[in-house]
Structure 1
Amino acid sequence: MTTKLTPLRFITAGSVDDGKSTLIGRLLYDSKALLTDQIDLLQNKGSKNSGQAIDFSRLTDGLEAEREQGITIDVAYRYFSTPKRKFIIADTPGHEQYTRNMVTGASTATAAVVLIDASQLNFAAEELQLLAQTKRHSAILRLLNCPHIIVAVNKMDLLDYSREKFERICTAYQALAEQLGLRNLRFVPVSALLGDNLVYSSESMPWYQGEPLLSILENLPTKEQQRKGEAFFFPVQYVIRQDADKQNDFRGYQGRVEAGEIRVGDKIRIEPSAQQAEIREIIHPKGASDSAKTDQVITLCLDKDIDISRGDVFVAQDSPLVPTQALAATLCWFDQRPLNPARKYLLKHTTKTVFARIKHIASVLDVETLSQSSGREQVAVNDIARINLVLQQPIAATLYEDNAVGGSFILIDEATYHTVAAGIITGLDS
């Protein structure tokens, strides 16, 4: 009997016209994950186009503007399952203008399928160069510590299924991965339009002895396996207070366990105040329980009344976490207006929002050369920069590599309340 693995969240990434939406549409079509009316729609649209191939991208490009322009703008989520596993797919935009949407999709993904349009590359060059947006998306995936990268070399049918050209692309991407520090790479030659090596092995590429894309995704390690051993981390989302007589004086702290486990009787510390308490009761949506683990939404009751509010964080009593007002971070800038160190921004970390100021711009990544340029006074839209921040109040932050939730944040423009950047914490100064 085949054991079902937990659901896998993965994204498609890459440059414009690499075929991300088509790949997802064909994957859903070939894996029999579409409803009858969806299949009829695809086939009817295909027959009206003078016998042209079915446009599988219509399954994910839901906005009218996306269909008119032939590009993905927003993140489109699709759900499907096989006998072995359930999947949540995020089809992310390839256009540089919508990089912020790609970051949104990648932030919760366990795996990324990076598409490379083989037909757009110049094989006459002595050293094969990948497209700039492929490099930018790969750099973002490295910053977000995406555990698994599957490089799907697409449109192999336009290259006559050339093994030599596929291997040159693999070599070029491996060089990029070494510069960025990407690991756990897999390479698959595909034709998203024709379905080669998506669900079934391609007869046109007998030289490829690996698994098709769907088989690789079905067998990736689960998120739970990768997060074992993380320290308890519980940001308070909401304080539940029932004003009544002393016999029914309920006070609970609601939120989601972002890492680790907790049991009744465990001793905790509340940051940033450093007060200590013991867990008296754990309440799940369906009732009380003796324990809770990562990703569960719960209400915690303590053995004493403490001044706790939204934005405080519960950690294990012996946790080495120390609240800080100074951060070193790497961020991706989203706003058309450049980052201005003279301005104050709002920093949202877990459930807490504080004022922040950019103390120093250490360097900005050059996507073409992958080198870091220092001495910059501003950070422009879609730039990836290393910065130092000073906060008005201390926060219970962690390094991103230790805890993705405790080590990430967004910056918000104080005047417009637009999200202007997403960042990961690379250094702490208590």
Structure 2
Amino acid sequence: MAGASRNATHPPVNVIVSGHVDSGKSTLTGHLLHLLGVVSTEEINRMKAESTGSKMGSFCYAWVSDSSATEREHGVTTDISVNRFVTDHRLVTIIDSPGHRDFIPNMIAGANQAQSALMILDASIGNFEAGFMRGGQTREHLQLMASLGVKSIILVVNKMDKVDWCRDRFNFIRKSILKYVQGVGFTSGVVVPCSGFQGDNLMTRVDPATVPGSDWYKGPTLIEAIDRLPPLQPDIRQPVRLVVRDTLEASSRGILRIQAQILGGFISTGDQLLFLPAIETGTVTGM
């Protein structure tokens, strides 16, 4: 596996990282980017020193994505963060998104750019239940991503170190989540246990010699699962789906110029478009 390279010839895949608040999304993403070489050891050491000085030492990897003063002060992701890396077979754009319900529009903006997802699930006793079974954000995020065209998903059972890599706990979460995921429309899904903070099973398979109780897991590492995600293949037969990248100018005639990426379907002059989450409509006057 290698770090980021915009000149890579591998097929692209856009992946959104989602999950209930405090599931460890940003920590897992930051640690993975460090192991891939996207973020240097010097940068991580600096963040460790700064986060420890701010009494937020356990958030050092999360600070890779959570770069604003507000995010670091409160330990909550509020906006999307985009990074790129190369695996053996894919050029991956990974989008870390907010988990808190107050920032759902930003999560939707991230999902609009992706066709695959990592759903991070907290294995800790009570925390998975809070996110999935008691009105948490897990179900809402899954529904939103599926409705926005995200089809492939990796279900990441995070914080396995908090439950001593208990196989029964993993199987309970796996059974609980898979039926729901299939019911909302995802076409494929694999379940991977890991520890985002410790780094177990992110890049290299968890070692029972150093992680007692993990000898039961024989499946892929997280990076191996990401490497197998289907590449981005826009289909003109799908409904129109595009992501607005920028607004360029507005004329005196009320015409707004935008820069956008079409992820599915096709657009012709005269078509009417619906823009979310603003719920605004507009007619295509030219391209």
**Same fold judged by TM-score > 0.5?**
yes
Match of 1:151 in 2: 155
Shift of 1:71: 0.4
List gaps (5 residues or longer) in structure 2. 1-7, 249-258
**Counterpart code for 1:11:** I
How much does 1:7 deviate? 2.4
3-state SS of 1:100 partner: helix
Q: Kindly tell me: are residues 36 and 23 of structure 1, through their superposed partners in 2, closer, same or farther at Cα, counting changes over 3 Å?
A: closer
Q: Deviations over 1:98-151 (max 9, x none)?
A: 1011111001212100011121537999xx836520000000111112121111
User: Following TM superposition, by how much is the alpha carbon of 1:35 offset from its aligned partner in structure 2, in angstroms?
Assistant: 3.2
Are 1:22 and 2:27 an aligned pair? yes
Question: Matches of residues 41-56 of structure 1 in structure 2 within 5 Å?
Answer: 41-45=46-50, 48=53, 55-56=60-61
**Which 5+ residue runs of structure 1 have no aligned equivalent?**
239-253, 262-269, 272-311, 314-322, 335-344, 354-430
Alpha-carbon distance between aligned partners in 2 of 1:136 and 1:255, rounded to the nearest angstrom: 26
Name the count of aligned residue pairs: 257
Q: What is the distance in 2 between the residues matched to 1:256 and 1:333?
A: 17
Which AA in structure 2 matches 1:173? I
The correspondence for 1:140, drawn from 136, 141, 144, is: 144
CA distance in 2, matches of 1:8, 1:192: 21
Q: Note closer, same or farther for the CA distance 1:83–1:122 as it changes in structure 2 (3 Å cut).
A: closer
- AA of the residue aligned to 1:72: T
Residues 12-161 of structure 1 aligned to structure 2 (within 5 Å): 12-35=17-40, 37-45=42-50, 48=53, 55-119=60-124, 121=126, 129=133, 132-161=136-165
Contact 2:81 / 2:97 at 8 angstroms: preserved in 1?
A: yes
The one-letter amino acid paired with 2:281 is L
Letter in 2 for 1:56: Y
> 1:175 and 1:62, CA in 2 relative to 1: closer, same or farther beyond 3 A?
same
State the AA in 2 paired with 1:81.
Answer: V
Give the direction of change, closer, same or farther, for the CA distance of 1:260–1:195 in structure 2 (3 Å limit). same
Structure 1 or 2: larger strand share?
1
TM-score of the superposed pair, with normalisation by structure 1: 0.52
- d(CA) in 1 for partners of 2:263, 2:285: 14
**Aligned partners of 1:123 and 1:165 also within 8 Å:** no
How has the CA–CA distance of structure 1 residues 255 and 194 changed in structure 2, closer, same or farther, with 3 Å as cutoff?
closer
Q: State percent identity of aligned pairs.
A: 29
C-alpha deviation, 1:200, in angstroms:
1.0
Q: Match for residue 409 of structure 1?
A: none
Whether the 8 Å CA contact 2:44–2:60 is kept in 1: the answer is no
Summarize the Cα distance change of 1:165–1:131 in structure 2 as closer, same or farther, 3 Å threshold. Answer: farther
Query: Which of residues 189, 213, 220 in structure 1 aligns to 2:222?
Result: 213
Higher relative contact order structure (alpha carbons within 8 Å, sequence separation ≥ 6): 2
Structure-2 change in CA distance of 1:184 and 1:256 (3 Å): closer
Look up the match of 1:426.
Answer: none
Q: 1:352 to 1:12 in 2, by over 3 A?
A: farther
Looking at structure 1, the residues matched to 56 and 70 of structure 2 have their Cα atoms a distance apart, in angstroms, of 24
What is the SS of the residue equivalent to 2:172?
Answer: helix
Partner of 1:337: none
- Select 2:175's aligned residue among 171, 183, 204: 171
Report the 3-state secondary structure (helix = DSSP H, G, I; strand = E; otherwise coil) of the residue aligned with 1:119: coil
> Equivalent residue for 2:281?
347
Secondary structure of the 2:146 match is: helix
> Could you tell me whether the CA contact under 8 Å between 1:121 and 1:129 is conserved in 2?
no
Distance 1:165 1:348, change over 3 A: farther
- State the TM-score, normalizing by the size of structure 2: 0.75
Equivalents in 2 of 1:124, 1:228: separation in Å? 37
Whole-Å separation in 1 of the counterparts to 2:140 and 2:276: 10
CA-CA distance at 1:27 after TM superposition: 0.2
2:192 is paired with a residue of what secondary structure? strand
Partner of 2:190: 186
Q: Which has the larger radius of gyration?
A: 1
- Aligned CA RMSD, in angstroms, stands at 3.8
Partner SS state of residue 39, structure 1: helix
Partner of 2:281, secondary structure, is strand
Q: Distance in 2 between matches of 1:92 and 1:123?
A: 18
The separation in 2 between residues aligned to 1:122 and 1:107, in whole angstroms, is 27
Q: Kindly state the Cα deviation for residue 219 of structure 1 after the two structures are TM-superposed.
A: 2.2
Map residues 273-292 of structure 1 onto 2, 5 A cutoff.
Answer: none
